[in-house]
Chain A
Amino acid sequence: MLEIRDIVCGYGGVTALRGISLQVKAGQLVALIGANGAGKSTTLRAISGLVPLRSGQMFFDGKDITAARPPRVLASGIAHYPEGRRVFPHMTVEENLDMGAYLRNDAGGIAADRDRIFTEFPRLAERKRQAAGTLSGGEQQMLAIGRALMSRPRLVMFDEPSLGLAPNIVERTFAIIRGIRDAGTTVLLVEQNAFAALEMCDQAHLIESGRIVLSGVGAELIANEHVRKAYLGG
């Protein structure tokens, strides 16, 4: 579904990715793990078109998206859940969801998708006219995930979805992400919580200093000596 071939990119004089190649098959949950600054987020940003490539190629469903700008990548079916602040704080819950459908212009379909998200997360429905900045951390997280789904993506890329959240909400977030995969949407997950990511994924890649140093199914990586020492604390 998504194929990346040997991409190299960086910020100014710093090279962040030194030739990353990976494949994401339809219906899979693929995890990228690694330390801070290894290039996980940059990989997602490169796919989104936020960071221009120096070399390499990217294909989504056979279409070349190597030089595509962010709106085109999104329109082709890839949603990006960025790292950091998750919602538009002064907009209402409803407006936040509508922002996720910014590039769509089928009002009926948008309303139906919004209702589906409200059914899935009743807490959001209760607060739909409330400013998103007044929601609790967990509610903001659900809103952010709902928003990412509003573009009707076939592939969702999550960047550090557990960052800064209470443990019970992290648990809930991972359950929702698994649910998204089970419902048929492909997921590419960047996560610092390596153990949780490896446990839930179908396929995982370990990134170190801008290169993929290890790939395999989750269980393989969990069993790997190097991964255990460096990322799983044992």
Chain B
Amino acid sequence: MRAAITMLALAAFASVPLWLRDPYLLNALITTGIFIIAAMSLNLLLGFTGQLSLGHIAFFGIGAYVSALTSLGFDIGLPGGFRLVHEPWPPIAGLALAILVAGLCGYFVGLLSFRVRGAYFVIVTISFAEVVRLVALNWVELTQGPLALTNIPSIAIGLPSLGELTLRTKLQNYYLLLAVAVVAYLLIARLVHSHFGRAMRGLMENETLAVSVGIDVTKTLTLAAVISAAIAGAAGSLYAHYIRIIDPEVFAFINTVTMVIMVISGGKGSLAGPVVGGLIFGLLPVVLRPIMAPEAQWIAYGGVLIVILFVLPRGIVPSLAQRFARRKRQAATVAPVAFSERAKEPA
């Protein structure tokens, strides 16, 4: 049942460019998709370990800058009169480095904050994002500051027997995005159902017990942060090579908030949640733009969010799944009502 829905959704996504010819809409879909990957990575932390990263955009932005600078090259002065010169590398190497560096940053942020966790992690991540934004803004020699990094090359992939293919068109970028999104989705799905995933869920549900069965809290949370940051970094790299221009505004707090909204509305702790929430809140501005004034759009955006959280408080996917399960059970007439009622209680 679940597998059927997943395959159907995948087929639907794969077929989009066949019937959607409008480049503006395709563009909106690609940028939304990039944000969905970032939201999926946030969900790994927020939904499966319960840790809220309110600076998640930092890993995304670091991925974008690392990838852009790797493929553009740079020449900067270091203290002591040295110069660090980097010749341009292929963008695909930028993607790899983006994943690596973002993951490393996740490691340090995790190391700094997971000994105390909770609110401290939230604060450390916010501060981290702000510091990184200030660096991007002020280290003009490296990042061009507010002048932005421009002419970022598109990603090229080497195909056996076909030579090099540079992904310039929206259609090509759409499929690249879809491929990365599927890989990220499968990776996260594998992860949360693994031994390690059980450790994450155990920690979120009952930390005292989790420790008593031998789970190493700091190690587990740090590893989750590394993987989450690395996936966000990959999304950032896709963004840089698709939009082809990035400036420090990419680190804006509102971008993190958007990701959090996507995860919470879709359903944190559910694999499909960020995808559903992401599609709604990524495409809502596109749908509203022709029919509303800009100020009204934001109000409508907030209104939709409130309605979703009011009607489906646990997020769209978990709430619908639960209703569906209950109806199926009632149809089978075994319906242990007490069970489904009690399952709703927050632990």
Q: What is A's interface to B at a CB cutoff of 8 Å?
A: 48, 50, 69-71, 74-75, 79-91, 95, 98-100, 102-103, 130-131, 133-134, 147, 151
Contact = CB atoms under 8 A, between A and B. Distances in A.
A110 to B, nearest CB: 12
Contacts of A87: 206, 209
B215 A85 contact: no
Contacts, number: 75
A103 B212 CA distance: 11
A91 B212 contact: no
Nearest to A159: B212
Interface residues of B, number: 22
A130 B205 contact: no
Contact of B206 (A75, A88, A100): A88
Q: When A and B form their complex, which 4 residue pairs have the shortest distance between CB atoms, in order from nearest?
A: A103-B214, A71-B214, A74-B214, A89-B347
Interface SS, B side: helix
B343 A50 contact: no
A82 B207 CA distance: 11
A163 to B, nearest CB: 13
A109 B129 CA distance: 47
B198 A95 contact: yes
B215 A102 contact: yes
B213 interface: yes
B44 interface: no
B90 interface: no
A99 B342 contact: no
Interface string B200-236: 0110011011111111100000000000000000000
A86 B214 contact: no
Contact of A133 (B199, B213, B214, B347): B347
Contact of B214 (A75, A85, A131): A75
B198 A133 contact: no
Given A89-B347, A133-B347, A100 B213 contact: yes
B212 A134 contact: no
B19 interface: no
B211 to A, nearest CB: 6
